[in-house]
Amino acid sequence: SNVAGLAPTITSATITGTPTVGQTLTAHSTGVTGVPTPTESYQWLSGGKAIPGANSSTYLVSSADYNQPITVTITETNSVGVASATSVPTAAVVGLAPTITSATITGTPTVGQTLTAHSAGVTGTPTPTESYQWLSGAKAIPNATGSTYLVQSSDYNQPITVTITETNTLGHASATSTPTKVTGVSPAVTTPQITVSGISPAGVGALTWSPSQTSGGATISGYQVEYSTDGGKTWITVPSSDVSGTSATIPGLSIGKAYSFRVVTQSSMGAVASAKIRATTFTQGPLDLPSRPFAAYHAGFSATLSNFRAIENTLKEISALRISRITLVGYAIYETRAKNGHGRYLTMNQVIQLAKSRALSAEKYLRMVDRRLHLAPPQFIINVKILNGKSHITNFELYRRVSLKV
């Protein structure tokens, strides 16, 4: 008769190796018997759960095993039967401190463009947290701690780098990118130009200015208005609440006192100040409106190019100072023996109408200029001033004019 075999037996299963992520563990069996000789198979377990595909005598600990105990079940099998043994659990798997191979930057290094940071070769268990610090000219950029960075005008011609740091509970590791130099158009901010300045009779200063222009990605954050009472040796800042866009209203100034004003552009390139400009209390009147000379009995108001520019500046100042009422005074001479050139004497009423017509003609002209400048016209009040007789007059132009009074 045939000799019968023996079913397998196994006394124990054990594990050697360090239970750390990235390390290799090895399974060992002891007390194995059986005829015919049993075939040995393995199943590795993490936290008591079978690990798919982990069926060899060795096992490479993965990050998924972090903080879990590892066991192995060894099974002996022959034609007569099977027997199994499971190892004692290892200590909980220990993680790995982070590593990082490199940091790189993609994107165009030009003012106004966005750069992106990338990491490579990152390891670590638990999975590391990634943080960033962008640098310009080897100096850390405040608040530039995201994975992207918008290149500023202050970075122009500077090398940009990024340091990426990987951190977990076991440590940290960093890598810094190769520098990339910012190129393109040199950023610049032009000086603001004050176009109107003045102080109203009530002691309210007013400024308007043309805005600064930018290039090369430079940006403007706002304007600061300052005034001085000592010719610019010291400057006092006007509260931001009194500044709106490209104009400012400055209350509380002294009547008749000379002030200097300047506008400072706050920009990504720093502060850019205008040239100082002086102003005193706006003339309370009368202010002669520059015009071509009036003929003796003519009322039409006209102006040369230089006259026109002077009138423009006056109206801009009136608008800036928010002066709402303007008096126009028309002048004329009444003389009982004067003729108008057509054989008729001018009566007092006619002389008054002549003076009034001169003022109305000037009003029409001023309204035309206001429209051209897109200014809100003030209310015009018409007055006349008549001089009786001319024998004592040495300057007839004094009574052939129109004056303005606020």
Distance, in Å, from the CA atom of 373 to the CA atom of 156, rounded to the nearest integer, reads 39
Mean pLDDT across the stretch 2-21?
93
Is the pLDDT reported for residue 332 higher than 90?
A: no
- Residue owning tokens 């009423």: 349
Give 137: exposed, middle or buried? Use CB within 10 Å, 0-12, 13-18, 19+: middle
Confidence of residue 292 (pLDDT cuts 50, 70, 90): low
Confidence of residue 337 (pLDDT cuts 50, 70, 90): low
- Tell me the pLDDT tens digit for each residue of 233-266: 898 899 999 898 888 888 888 766 778 888 888 8
Q: Which residues are 136's β-sheet partners?
A: 139, 160
Is the pLDDT reported for residue 375 higher than 70?
A: yes
Confidence of residue 153 (pLDDT cuts 50, 70, 90): confident
Which residue type is seen at 113? Answer: Q
Mean pLDDT across the stretch 124-148?
96
What's the CA angle centered on 375, arms 369 and 376, to 5 degrees? 115
pLDDT at 268: 78
Confidence of residue 143 (pLDDT cuts 50, 70, 90): very high
DSSP 8-state code for residue 396? G
pLDDT at 229: 85
Is the pLDDT reported for residue 284 higher than 70?
A: no
Higher-pLDDT residue of 327, 70: 70
Is the pLDDT reported for residue 135 higher than 90?
A: yes
Is the pLDDT reported for residue 49 higher than 60?
A: yes
For the chain, counts of helices (H) and of strands (E): 2, 34
Average pLDDT across the chain, whole number: 86
* Domains in the chain: boundaries: 6-86, 96-181, 188-279, 287-405
CA 48 → CA 12, 70, 93, distances in Å?
18, 8, 13
Higher-pLDDT residue of 35, 391: 35
What is the C-alpha end-to-end distance of the chain, expressed in Å?
Answer: 139
Is the pLDDT reported for residue 404 higher than 90?
A: no
Spatial contact of 389 and 311, defined as CB atoms under 8 Å apart = no
Is the pLDDT reported for residue 342 higher than 60?
A: no
Mean pLDDT across the stretch 353-359?
88
Spatial contact of 309 and 373, defined as CB atoms under 8 Å apart = no
Is the pLDDT reported for residue 282 higher than 60?
A: no
Considering 101-105, 230-234, 270-274, 294-298, the range whose residues carry the highest mean pLDDT is 101-105
CATH number of 188-279: 2.60.40.10
pLDDT at 163: 98
Is the pLDDT reported for residue 44 higher than 70?
A: yes
Strands 325-334 and 379-388: parallel
pLDDT at 286: 62
pLDDT at 395: 66
Confidence of residue 136 (pLDDT cuts 50, 70, 90): very high
Q: Who's near 343: CB < 8 A, 6+ residues apart? A: none
Is the pLDDT reported for residue 335 higher than 80?
A: no
pLDDT at 109: 93
Spatial contact of 70 and 61, defined as CB atoms under 8 Å apart = yes
Q: Among 80-89, 221-230, 264-273, 363-372, which is the least confidently predicted range?
A: 264-273
CATH architecture of 96-181: Sandwich (2.60)
Q: Who's near 369: CB < 8 A, 6+ residues apart? A: 308, 311, 312, 315
- Tell me the pLDDT tens digit for each residue of 309-320: 778 877 877 776
Is the pLDDT reported for residue 399 higher than 90?
A: no
- Tell me the pLDDT tens digit for each residue of 160-217: 999 999 999 999 999 999 999 998 777 788 888 887 667 776 777 787 888 888 877 7
CATH topology of domain 6-86: Immunoglobulin-like (2.60.40)
CATH number of 287-405: 3.30.1330.60
Q: Among 31-45, 76-90, 290-304, which is the least confidently predicted range?
A: 290-304
Instruction: Please determine whether the domains at 188-279 and 287-405 fall in the same fold group of CATH.
Output: no
Q: What is the pTM of this model?
A: 0.49
Instruction: Say what percent of the chain tops pLDDT 70.
Output: 88
pLDDT at 201: 66
DSSP string, 295-317: PTT-------HHHHHHHHHHHHH
